[in-house]
Structure 1
Amino acid sequence: MRQLVGDWPAVEAGRQGDASIVRYLGEIGSARPVSAIAASPGEGGRFFYTPDLTGLNFVSGQGRLEMFLEDLLRAAEVSDPPAMAVQSEDIASLLPRFADENRLAILPQVAPKIWIGNRIRVAPHYDGKENVACCVAGRRRFTLFPPDQIGNLYPGPFELTPAGTPVSMVDLAEPDEEAHPRFAEAWRHAAQATLDPGDAIYIPYGWWHGVESLEPVSILVNYWWTQDVPDGLTSPYVGLLHALLTFKHLPPEQRDVWREMVNYYVFEQQGDPAAHLPDHAKGVLGPPSPALFAQMHEMIRQLMR
C-alpha cells in the first residue's frame, strides 16, 4: 500500500535523514524504559540461533530510548556495526505524543507497536494475527510465504525461539540447498516487497514473513489484530502444543483414527457435527461463548489430573 502513511509527521522527519527522525523522537520524549537486543558485527545483522542451537546469538537489556537512538546514530558511522533493535514496543505507553500525531485511519481501534533498529534481518516466522506494517524511516524488504509452505521452510525449535514462535532455519540471504532442499519450492511461492518511508504492507493471518531492514536507521510501526475470534477462546498455539502432546507419539493407526475425529469435530469436514442434536444436548459442540470456553477449560483440568 504505497504511501498509506506518507502524510505522517514521523515519515516526513524520516525523509529528512537519520538525524532528523532521531531528533523528532527525542523531542517527543519517551515515557518509560525500553527493551533492546544486540548481536555482534560478525552475525551480519541476523538475529538467530547460536550455531549449536543451544542459545540465541544476541543479548538483551533495558534503558532509555533516547540512549538507544544515540547509540544507533553512532553505529551508523561504523563500517561493521553490531545489529541493534528495539522491537514491538507499545507506542501509546512509550510515545503517547507520537501516537497522537501519527494515526492510521483504517485501524483506529488497534494499538500500534514500534520497531527501531539498523540493518537487521529477522528470519521468516508467522503471527497468529492480521498485520499491517508501516515503514516510517529507512527501507524494509518483506518476503512472504503462504501457510501451506511450512514444510518447505524448515521451522526451528518450539522451546527456544528468537521471538516467541518457531522461525524458519533457512537463511534467505544464503539458502543452504543441501541442508534445506525443499526451500526451492517455497521460493517459487514467495512474494517480495520493498517499502519506502510512507509505504505499508498487509500480512495475512498465519503467513510466514522474513524482514530485512536496509538502512542504518530503520523505523516501522505495525498493527496486529484478530478478526471474528470469540472472547475467551484459547490460543490456537496452545492447542497445537496440546495436539503434539496427545497425538504425535501415538501408533500410526491410532493417529489415523484421531485425524478423522479432529477433521469431523474441529474442522467440520462433514458439516456441523452437532446438527443432529437438540440445542440443549449440544454441550461443548454448541455456540461459542465465554461460559462455554470456561466449562471446557474446567473439563480439561479435571481430565489432566
Structure 2
Amino acid sequence: MTLVEGASPIEECNASDFGAAEDLRALAAQCRPTIIRGHCSDWPLVSIGAQGADAAMIYLAQYERGARAEYFWAPAELEGRYHYGAGPGGFNFSRETMYVRDALSRIAANGLDGGETGYLGSLSFDDHFPGLEIENSSFLVDGHVRPRLWVGNRSTIACHYDGYDNLACVVVGRRRFTLYPPDAIGDLYIGPIDHTLSGQPISMAAGAAENAVAYPRYANARARALILELGPGDALYLPKLWWHQVEALEPVNILINYWWDGFSSGRDSPYAALLLAMIAISERPAREREAWRAYFDHYVFRQNGHPLAHLPEQKHGVLGPLAHGNYGRIRTLVMRMLRGG
C-alpha cells in the first residue's frame, strides 16, 4: 500500500492497532477515512490470490452456488471507465443477468485477452458464496453486518457516495481510491439522483477530461482530494457520505466490503429526511429558506447543544432521548402529517 505522490495525507494504522468492533465504532464516530494496513492479509483468499488471479477465481468457484447476478461490461476502447453515454439506458456500458459462474469465467477470460472489461458488484455472500466468510471475514465488524464481494477487470467506478460506513478490504489486485469530503459536493457537479449508474448519484466532473472548462469549480474539490493505493491485505475505512472514485488497476481484481450504520436510531434513513426537506423547503423564497436553516441548525444539527438544555430533562418531551420511546412518538407525528391527518 502506498500513497500516490503529491496526495494529501490520510490517517493510517496497522491491523494490530484494533482489538474488536468497538474500536471501529470509535473510528466511525470521527468520520475520518483511515487506511488499515494488513487488516485482511491472513485471509486464505489473499494468500491464494498471491499465486495468481486464476487461483483466486478457482477458489471462489468452490463456494459459488448457482445463483444469478447482474454483470456489467464495456467494450475495450472505454478502458473500463463506466459512466453515462450513448448506450443502453443512456450509459456507456451494458448489463446482463447471468449465472455467477459464467460471469466469473468471462471476467477471467477478459483478464487474459484484454478485450471487454466487466465486473460483478455487491454480491451477497449469503446468496452467492455461502461459507466464504468462515475464513475470510473481518473481526472489526459485528456478525450481523454481512460481507459483499466485488470482482472484475480493470475499471474506473465513477465518483459517488454511500449512505453507509464502509470497510473495503482489497484481496486481489490493487485499488486506487480518490476521496473527497462531503462538503465538496458543490464543487463536484453531481448528476441526476433518479437516473444513476448503479443507485447513487455521481460526480460529472471527477475524472472528466473537459472538467477545467465545463466544471470550473471542480478545481476546488481536486485540491482537497485524498488519493491512495491499496494492495492485497489492506483495508480502507470510508465514512458515509464521503465521495469516492475507485479504480481497479490489475487485469483481475477482487474486493470484499462491509456496509453498516452503527448510529441509526431506527429504520428511517437521513436520506429520506433530505428528500422530504427538498419538496417542503427547496423552492421557497431565499429568506424563508434561511429561516428554516436556523431551525434545522437548532433542532437537528444542534450547534449550540440540546435545544432544551435550559429545562429539566423531565420537561424535554419528545425531544428527550430517541431510545426512550421518542423515536416512535416523533415518527407517528410525521406519518400523521404525511397522511394529512
Per the alignment, residue 303 of structure 2 pairs with 269
Farther off after superposition, 50-59 or 141-150: 50-59
Secondary structure of 1:96 counterpart:
coil
Q: How does 1:128-277 map to 2 (within 5 A)?
A: 128-172=163-207, 174=209, 176-230=211-265, 232-277=266-311
* Length-normalised TM-score, structure 2: 0.82
Give me the whole-angstrom Cα distance separating, in 1, the residues matched to 2:88 and 2:304.
42
Which moves more between the two structures, 173-182 or 131-140?
A: 173-182
Deviates more, 1:70-79 or 1:14-23: 70-79
1:152-186: per-residue Cα shift (whole Å, max 9, x none)?
A: 11111111112222111124263520011111221
Which residue is equivalent to 2:73? 38
SS in 2 for 1:215: coil
What is the match of residue 116 of structure 2? Answer: 82
Residues 118, 173 of structure 1: alpha-carbon distance in 2 compared, 3 angstrom cutoff = farther
Worse-superposed segment, 45-54 or 116-125: 45-54
Relative to structure 1, the CA distance from residue 185 to residue 53 in structure 2 (aligned partners, 3 Å threshold; closer, same or farther) is farther
Partner of 1:294: 328
| Counterparts of 1:292 and 1:54, CA distance in 2 | 44
Structure-2 separation of matches of 1:290 and 1:59 = 49
Rounded to whole Å, the distance in 2 between the matches of 1:270 and 1:9 is 50
> 3-state SS of the aligned residue for 1:86?
strand
**1:209: how far off?**
0.8
How many equivalent pairs are there? 303
TM-score (norm 1): 0.91
Q: Which amino acid aligns with 1:212?
A: E
Question: Secondary structure, in 3 states, of the residue corresponding to 1:256?
Answer: helix
Seq. identity, %: 37
User: Could you report, residue by residue, the CA deviation over 1:83-106 in whole angstroms, capped at 9, with x for unpaired residues?
Assistant: 311111111332122111212122
Q: 2:130 is aligned with what amino acid?
A: P
Q: Give the Cα separation in 2 of the matches to 1:53 and 1:187.
A: 31
Deviation (angstroms), 1:29: 3.0
Which residue type is aligned with residue 289 of structure 1?
A
Letter in 1 for 2:246: V
Shift of 1:290: 8.1
Preserved CA contact (<8 Å) 2:152 2:254: yes
Q: What do you get for the CA RMSD once the two structures are aligned?
A: 2.2
Map of 2:90 onto structure 1:
55
| Cα separation, 2, equivalents of 1:6 and 1:279 | 49
In structure 2, the residue matched to 1:118 is 153
User: 1 CA distance for matches of 2:322 and 2:286?
Assistant: 32
Change in Cα spacing, 1:52 to 1:87, as seen in structure 2 (3 Å) is: closer
Q: Which amino acid aligns with 2:238?
A: I
Cα distance in 1 between the residues matched to 2:78 and 2:200: 21
Classify 1:54/1:31 alpha carbon distance in 2 versus 1 (closer, same or farther; 3 Å): closer
**Structure 2 unpaired stretches of 5+:** 1-35
What is the match of residue 101 of structure 1?
135
Report the Cα distance in structure 2 between the residues aligned to 1:152 and 1:55, rounded to whole angstroms.
24
Q: 2 CA distance for matches of 1:48 and 1:288? A: 41
Paired residues of 2:206 and 2:218 also in contact (CA < 8 A): no
Contact in 1 for aligned 2:178/2:244 (Cα 8 Å): yes
Rounded Cα–Cα distance in structure 2 between residues aligned with 1:269 and 1:74: 55
